[in-house]
Amino acid sequence: MDRKKFIQQSGNGVVFTLLSGVMFGQKKGMAVNLPKMNDPKVIRDADGDVFNVIGDIQTHKLLGAETGNQIFEWVDNVEPGVGIPPHIHTKEDEIFRVVKGEVEITVGGKSEVLKAGDIAYAPKNIPHTWKVVGTEKAKMITSALPAGIELMFQELAALPPGPPNFEKVAEICAKQGIRFV
């Protein structure tokens, strides 16, 4: 089948399915749940809620609740020497984009120092870690796909100040399918 014919037939099938649900699937008092489009959003640098997640200062920019749980995006503003211990995600992939400073990231056993403009991808089920290196504070935009991890970060940020109770941290992270290695 040629591409044009395929697109026409596929489009006709989608329209028929949607209209069938609206016209025939609706019983009295029963609404048809059509997909909801995500609302467009512009996020300024100063926008977002700030959380101290065990030394990782995060500004949550784009939440899963705003993207149909497709993506969660935040900005890390982190002092030199701060980092995250080696861990594995079982639910989400992460993308790290360094905007300022230097971040040493290890993914799957390979370490690289990322500088402004560099990106690293950490797929789920692959061990990874990162740490700010050098003398300058780092700014990094991080994305998690799919969303959901923001709830874990909010719970971690609510822990009492001071040195973290690693057992409690591991328990909170395990609920999100994250384990430390």
Given a cut of 50, whether residue 181 has pLDDT beyond it is: yes
pLDDT at 88 over 90: yes
Contact in structure between 71 and 94 (CB atoms under 8 Å): no
State yes or no: pLDDT of 14 exceeds 70: no
DSSP 3-state of 178 = strand
The answer to whether 114 and 98 are in contact (CB under 8 A) is yes
Residue 83 has, within 13 A of its CA and on its CB side, a CA count of 17
Position 27 pLDDT exceeds 60: no
Q: Among 3-7, 87-91, 95-99, 157-161, which stretch is predicted with the lowest mean pLDDT?
A: 3-7
CATH code of the region 49-180: 2.60.120.10
Is pLDDT of 45 > 60? yes
Verdict on whether the full-model pTM lies above 0.85: no
Q: For 97-145, how does the pLDDT look when each residue is reduced to its tens digit (9 = 90+)?
A: 999 999 999 999 999 999 999 999 999 999 999 999 989 999 999 999 9
pLDDT: which is higher, 17 or 168? 168
pLDDT at 9: 55
In angstroms and rounded to an integer, the radius of gyration of the C-alpha atoms of the chain is 21
Lowest mean pLDDT among 71-75, 86-90, 161-165: 161-165
Question: How would residue 162 be classed by pLDDT, with cut points 50, 70 and 90?
Answer: confident
What is the residue type of 19? Answer: L
- C-beta separation of 72 from 144 below 8 A: yes
- Can you give the pLDDT at residue 20? 40
Q: Would you place residue 5 in the very low, low, confident or very high pLDDT band (cuts 50, 70, 90)?
A: low
